[in-house]
Amino acid sequence: MTDALKPLDIDTVHAFVRVADFASFTRAAEALDTSQAAISLKLKRLEERLGYRLLERTPRHVRLSPQGAQFIVAARALLNAHERALGDMRPHAPRRLVIGISDHVAGPDLPTWLSRINAYDPLVILEVRIASSRDLMAAFDRNELDAVIVRNEGERQDGEVLAVERFGWFAAPTWQHTPGTPLPMATMAAPCGVRQLATRALDEACIDWTEVFVGGGVMAVGAAVSAGLGVAALAHRVAPAAAVDVSQAYGLPALPVSEVMLHSRISDARSRETLRALSATFRSVLQR
């Protein structure tokens, strides 16, 4: 068989697509449960097989080359066809994963995560529940969820730390606080852990505050901030794009960092692979 007719190796194509998805050899290795060196070797072999460079690498960035941008379309189609061919031969029903994600963790990046998981495992039925970390942990302990990605609000040490996030006090660029009046706050309803964290910090700093908006989710709180209703304690990643951190301007107390944790009881091999990919996706976004 000539080189021109030699079939592509599925594992090397898989490695290439994962590196492209995560823009990182490290995250791709985590998702595929292998080493960065092994991923690099697979990419080298694939590029040698094709005769052109697929990725452009610098110390800080990994991006597709022009040829790689063309090849990845066919590569995804090949992987999807391969996965579906295997799925057609499996006698059992499609897998369903029920995953809870804290509202303060999901934020605006949820579409990116769902897209990457669908690309990684197109046969999985992914059921996602968005709620507070406390409610999700309670549901997990009742065996209602296969896995949860939540803020660490207690002393539990049985999960995996995905990232550590910074919080700040965010407001609209034109917002101003009237001296001598309570600090107007936009929050989520109790028992939100971030609300508790924020109000405790203000009380310990002897800063009067009042709730002017209570939202049912982070997006609602962000909308109140953008509308100029008041300030909100938010992770930098989920704060509205135009909002500014007013901590120093108004002498607001520093907020503690927050651990984002993964708790899982998933046992079957393929679902664990999907969860690894989800974890790597979270790390790639949460740590940017």
pLDDT in tens, 8-36: 888 888 888 888 877 788 878 877 778 88
Number of domains in the chain: 3
| Residue 100 sits in the same domain as residue 122 | yes
Average pLDDT over every residue of 173-184: 93
Task: Check if the beta carbon of residue 15 is closer than 8 Å to that of residue 31.
Answer: no
% residues pLDDT > 70 (the chain): 91
Average pLDDT over every residue of 36-41: 88
What DSSP string describes the chain?
--GGGPPPPHHHHHHHHHHHHHT-HHHHHHHHTS-HHHHHHHHHHHHHHHTS--EEE-SS-EEE-HHHHHHHHHHHHHHHHHHHHHHHT--SPPPEEEEEEEHHHHGGGHHHHHHHHHHH-TT-EEEEEEE-HHHHHHHHHTT--SEEEEE--SS--SSEEEEEE-EEEEE-TT--PPTTSPEEEEEEPTT-HHHHHHHHHHHHTT--EEEEEEESSHHHHHHHHHTTS-BEEEETTTS-TT-EE-TTTTTPPPPPPEEEEEEE---SHHHHHHHHHHHHHHHHHHT-
Average pLDDT over every residue of 85-97: 64
- Residue 152 pLDDT greater than 80, yes or no: yes
% residues pLDDT > 90 (the chain): 30
- Residue 271 pLDDT greater than 70, yes or no: yes
Domain end among 66, 88, 110: 88
Average pLDDT over every residue of 83-92: 61
Give pLDDT, residue 253: 95
Range of the domain at 133: 96-163+259-286
**Sequence-separated (6 or more) residues with CB below 8 Å from residue 89:** none
Give pLDDT, residue 140: 92
Return mean pLDDT, the chain.
84
Instruction: Identify the burial level of 158 via C-beta atoms within 10 angstroms of its C-beta, where 0-12 means exposed, 13-18 middle and 19 or more buried.
Output: exposed
- Residue 286 pLDDT greater than 70, yes or no: no
In this structure, what are the phi and psi dihedrals at residue 131, rounded to the nearest 5 degrees?
A: -160, -175
| Residue 115 sits in the same domain as residue 131 | yes
Neighbour count for residue 208 (Cβ, 10 Å): 10
pLDDT band at 207 (very low <50, low <70, confident <90, very high): very high
Give pLDDT, residue 105: 85
Assign residue 132 the CATH number of its domain.
3.40.190.10
Give pLDDT, residue 210: 95
In this structure, what are the phi and psi dihedrals at residue 172, rounded to the nearest 5 degrees?
A: -70, 150
In this structure, what are the phi and psi dihedrals at residue 179, rounded to the nearest 5 degrees?
A: -55, 145
**Sequence-separated (6 or more) residues with CB below 8 Å from residue 222:** 232, 234, 238, 239, 240, 243
Assign residue 24 the CATH number of its domain.
1.10.10.10
Give pLDDT, residue 1: 45
- Residue 2 pLDDT greater than 50, yes or no: no
Average pLDDT over every residue of 39-54: 88
| Residue 103 sits in the same domain as residue 175 | no
pLDDT band at 93 (very low <50, low <70, confident <90, very high): low
Which has more confidence, 238 or 21? 238
Which has more confidence, 276 or 186? 186
| Residue 171 sits in the same domain as residue 249 | yes
Q: What span, in angstroms and rounded, lies between the C-alpha atoms of 29 and 11?
A: 12
Which has more confidence, 272 or 260? 260
Give pLDDT, residue 173: 95
Neighbour count for residue 214 (Cβ, 10 Å): 16
| Residue 246 sits in the same domain as residue 108 | no
Lowest model confidence (mean pLDDT) among 8-17, 205-214, 234-243: 8-17
pLDDT band at 3 (very low <50, low <70, confident <90, very high): low
Domain end among 32, 66, 88: 88
| Residue 135 sits in the same domain as residue 267 | yes
- Residue 230 pLDDT greater than 70, yes or no: yes
Average pLDDT over every residue of 281-288: 66
106 alpha-carbon distance from chain centroid:
7
Highest-confidence range of 149-153, 189-193, 251-255, 264-268, by mean pLDDT?
Answer: 251-255
CA of 49: how far to CAs of 35, 39, 250, in Å? 21, 15, 60
| Residue 276 sits in the same domain as residue 210 | no
